[in-house]
Structure 1
Amino acid sequence: MKKETYLVVLAFFSIYVFWGSTYLWNKIVVSEAPAFMLASLRFTIAGALIFIIAAATGRSLKITQKQFLNSVLAGFLFLAYGNGVFVWALNYVNSGFAALLAALQPLSILVMMRISQRKALKPKSMIGVCLGLFGMYLLVSQRDIALQEGAVLGIVMIFTCIISWGIGSLFVAKADLPKNFFIATGYQMVTAGVLLALGSRFILQETWNTPLDWSSSAQISMGCLILFGGIAAFTSFNYLLKKVSTEKVATSAYVNPVIALFLGWYFLEEIVTTQSIIAAGILLTGVYFINTVRQKEGRKPTGKKA
């Protein structure tokens, strides 16, 4: 195979497996560290590494005041709230279950687009929305899940994160941000890390602990979140958008929840019920219908992962 073919294969492996694994890694670390502290460290370190790599490769880090303010807002919507609160919710729900809820993001973006543009849903979109809502109902209506302490709160907060991601996607599509995706991601990560640290201190009043006190599995998971779930996956995502069709890149929306369900079951012994499997199939079919409509309209996938 040609070198470019190898790179494409590796990039797909990255957005499939690494992004699908972030739910497991976050679940492991959040059991030993406060959620906002975890997310703050992850994004601050990853953003700093991006700046170091960019500077070492001769990329300019210059940014206008407007681009910086837009980066702060994007970082808040995607990472500080969208990811930080999502990680916090993992204290109350299983990682695979959370990944399936996150798969509803394309549905939220579609609905927001239609509302803002005042356009009626196309037939295929309507089918996707109905399937997505029905799959979500099957997923969250399970008695065992509803009886878990804090599960309802966790589910509600994950839905607010999905809305935050959707708003962020629509904002970034039109916002003035650094043209280099790598640099733009770095600014969003660092500013989100600062916002999360402030939220940790003044809103949640978390008690920070040192990673040296964590178990080896938590330390390894944090390293994986920074290097693989952050830098490698985001870089691969950007590379694929330039090399293959958006339809192929969007397939990560179907693979990530499956990876997350399997890893949660295998490593954390999370229970995967028959109803969850049926709900997953219906929900992801709805996501497929929604994504195919968006691709025909020429929109690139802009979703962020956990």
Structure 2
Amino acid sequence: MKKPKYYVYMLVLLAIVFWGISYVWMKIVFEFYPPITTMFLRLSISSALMYGIFRSQRQKIDRKDYKAFFLLSFFSPFCYFIGESFGLLHVSPTVAAVIIATIPVFTPILGFIAFSERLSFINIAGFVVSFTGVLIMVLDAEFKFSASPLGVGLLFFAVLSALINIIFLKKLTHKYSSFTIISVQNLLGALFFMPLFFLFDFSHFISVRPSAEAVGSLIALAVFGSTLAFMFYTSGVRALGVARTSIFTNLIPVVTAITSLIILKEIIDQGKLLGMAIVILGLLMTQVTRLREKRKARLAESLTPKG
């Protein structure tokens, strides 16, 4: 049975809300648990949930694809979460969300380098506009870092990891379902974090007594941020298409800013607001172009004589 459009849009918006507030949840958890512990527990809980929900939909992984899945999971979630979570220790949730939101802007450049895809003027313009917005957010009037350079660097490492992840993801999406891919990613990601957890964080983990808010935030990260958000967003992609659904991701920094202001009392000044607006403008520039190209392709296909 086909789901009504309003229901699909509601699911996509819920996914955006969950991902947007995830940065706030992480900040709350980090008051008690360091990033490695947080990511290990988050991925472990999510893996167990996804295994239970999608057990009947699991596909067998071909032995020849083991290496691709290993590298895919190494770059994301492992490297991606290291950059994102340790970066978040040094910057505000809003700055972190805006930097991570630039991934779609860099994607056409990756396509040009890795897959020889066409790079349009609007793609380049969108990149320049978005990067300018990020600079406005992290630099002050004297062009000195108002945000931690280390934090910004770690977050761009997360962006780079996500981009490299796309290379391996593109090879696997033609063969495996999105549920299979994300389930394997979460499981391998948890296994990558496991030795670091026992080596560096275990003694701290058994000695700390987290607040109820921190425990709730950790569970929310796993259930809503790493499981339900993915399920809802995938439903949107199937019903609305990748290009149209991806436009909603521009709202993630907005959700982060609002929830960080309410829950963490983050001060969001004019520079942050202006920078966020410019980044979102750059994202929209690249995504509107993608929608136009898809419409042209569909029109050309409909005009092609059949038979």
Q: Which residue of 1 aligns with 2:298?
A: none
Shift of 1:159: 0.5
Q: Which residue of 1 aligns with 2:178?
A: 181
Contact (CA 8 Å) 1:67, 1:178: kept in 2 or not?
no
Distance 1:286 1:206 in 2: 42
Out of 191, 209, 218, the residue aligned to residue 194 of structure 1 is 191
Amino acid paired to 2:13: F
Alignment correspondent of 1:289: 285
- Match in the other structure for 1:44: 44
Give the corresponding residue for 1:302.
none
Comparing 266-275 with 124-133, greater Cα deviation is found at 124-133
Distance 1:62 1:185 in 2: 14
Please say if residues 72 and 192 of structure 1, whose CA atoms lie closer than 8 Å, have aligned partners that are also in contact: no
More helix by percentage: 2
- Residue 180 of structure 1: how far off its partner (Å): 2.4
Please report how far the alpha carbon of residue 254 of structure 1 lies from its aligned counterpart in structure 2 after TM superposition: 1.1
The equivalent of 1:230 in structure 2 is: 226
1:180-235 alpha-carbon deviations (Å, 9 max, x no partner): 22122111101001101223445x66744149821111111111111111111111
2:245 alignment partner in structure 1: 249
- Which residue in the other structure is 1:113 paired with? 111
**Deviation string, structure 1 residues 39-88 (Cα, Å, up to 9, x no partner):** 01111221121112223xx3345222233432222122121111233112
Length-normalised TM-score, structure 1: 0.87
What RMSD in Å do the two structures reach over aligned CA positions? Answer: 2.5
Specify whether residues 201 and 252 from structure 1 end up closer, same or farther in structure 2 by C-alpha distance, changes over 3 A only: farther
- C-alpha separation between the residues in 2 aligned to 1:132 and 1:117? 23
Alignment of 1:58-137 (within 5 A): 58-118=56-116, 121-137=119-135
Q: Secondary structure of the residue that 2:57 maps to in structure 1?
A: coil
Count matched residues: 292
Tell me what 1:303 maps to: none
Go from structure 1 to structure 2 and tell me whether the alpha carbon gap of 1:296 and 1:6 turns closer, same or farther (over 3 Å shift): closer
State the distance in 2 between where 1:92 and 1:124 align: 33
| Counterpart in the other structure of 1:10 | 10
Q: 1:97, CA displacement in angstroms?
A: 1.1
How far the C-alpha of 1:105 sits from its partner, in A, is: 0.7
Q: In the aligned structure 1, how far is the partner of 2:128 from the partner of 2:173?
A: 34
Partner Cα distance (1:29, 1:143) in 2 = 33
Distance change >3 Å, CA 95–CA 183, structure 1 → 2? same
Q: Using a 3 Å threshold, how does the CA distance of structure 1 residues 110 and 73 change in structure 2: closer, same or farther?
A: same
CA deviation after TM superposition for structure 1 residue 117, in Å: 4.1
What amino acid is the match of 2:217? S
Question: Is structure 2 residue 171 aligned with structure 1 residue 161?
Answer: no
Identity of aligned residues (%): 21
- Quote the offset at 1:6 in angstroms: 5.4
TM-superposed CA distance for 1:296, in Å, is 4.3
Asked if 2 retains the 8 angstrom alpha-carbon contact of 1:39 and 1:193, the reply is yes
Aligned-pair distance for 1:297? 4.8
The answer to whether the 8 A contact 1:34-1:206 is kept is no
Contact 1:70 1:176 (C-alpha < 8 Å) held by counterparts: no
Q: Which residue of structure 1 aligns with residue 145 of structure 2?
A: 146
Equivalent position of 1:262 in the other structure: 258
Aligned residue runs from structure 1 range 12-27, under 5 A = 12-27=12-27
- Structure 2 distance, partners of 1:130, 1:147, is 20
| Structure 1, gaps ≥5 residues long | 299-306
- Please list every run of at least 4 consecutive aligned residues from structure 1 whose deviation after the TM superposition is greater than 6 angstroms: none
When Rg is computed on C-alpha atoms for both structures, the one with the higher figure is: 2
With over 3 angstroms needed to count, the CA separation of the structure-2 counterparts of 1:111 and 1:64, relative to structure 1, is same
